[in-house]
Amino acid sequence: MSNIVYIATSIDGYIAGKNGDIKWLIEFPNPEGSDYGFFDFMKGIDALIMGRNTFEIVNGFDTWMYNKPVFVISNTLTELTGKWAEKAELIKGDLKEVVAQLNAKGINNIYVDGGKTIQSFMTLDMIDKLIITTIPIVLGGGIPLFGESVQLNFKHESTDIYTGGLVKNTFTRDRGV
């Protein structure tokens, strides 16, 4: 069972610019049309958990990007709205209980997405793998990938370098320290 983050950041560690802007991600030149390993990653995932804010961003996309079940975690929403509302399921509650319930249903490899959601998982030491692609841009502010958390040690697993200067690093949680 693994909870895995797969995300892109700016050089200065932001996953979105000021006011949640992600245009810099979408507009970054990609002359080869690469998915940077995303589709291979998704083959090993059983489902996604994303936060409300991330789901609101996804609702702005022209196409639904996911071929796995998507769970939107929010303790304030009573229902999902937007054009992709029927593609996802709203879940509530304590993260450890939510993940345990999903694991009991055979959902074991979970893609965790969204700044606050990732930070909440990190605070509870519930992330097993980080796959972080750094894009060569400095945003100077916005939504950071990591907020305040406890110290967590990770082992470097691999690095992939892509055309255009993107660098993808994979880390696994080192629970032996």
Q: Tell me the per-residue pLDDT of 120-160, one tens digit each, with 9 for 90 and over.
A: 999 999 999 999 999 999 999 999 999 877 889 999 999 99
The residue among 4, 23, 28, 8 whose CA lies nearest residue 160 is 8
Strands 167-173 and 129-135: antiparallel
CA distance 89 to 86: 7
For residue 135, give Cα distances in angstroms to 41, 53, 121, 152: 18, 22, 23, 23
Strand intervals (E) in 69-127 = 70-73, 88-91, 109-113
Q: Tell me the per-residue pLDDT of 56-65, one tens digit each, with 9 for 90 and over.
A: 989 988 889 8
Contact call for residues 119 and 146 (beta carbons, < 8 A): yes
User: Where do the domains of the chain lie?
Assistant: 18-145+161-173
pLDDT at 162 exceeding the cut of 80: yes
Which residue type is seen at 58? V
- 3-state SS class at 115: helix
Q: Which CATH code for domain 18-145+161-173?
A: 3.40.430.10
pLDDT at 68 exceeding the cut of 70: yes
pLDDT band at 164 (very low <50, low <70, confident <90, very high): confident
When the pLDDT of each residue in the chain is averaged and rounded to a whole number, the result is: 91
pLDDT at 72 exceeding the cut of 90: yes
pLDDT at 33 exceeding the cut of 80: no
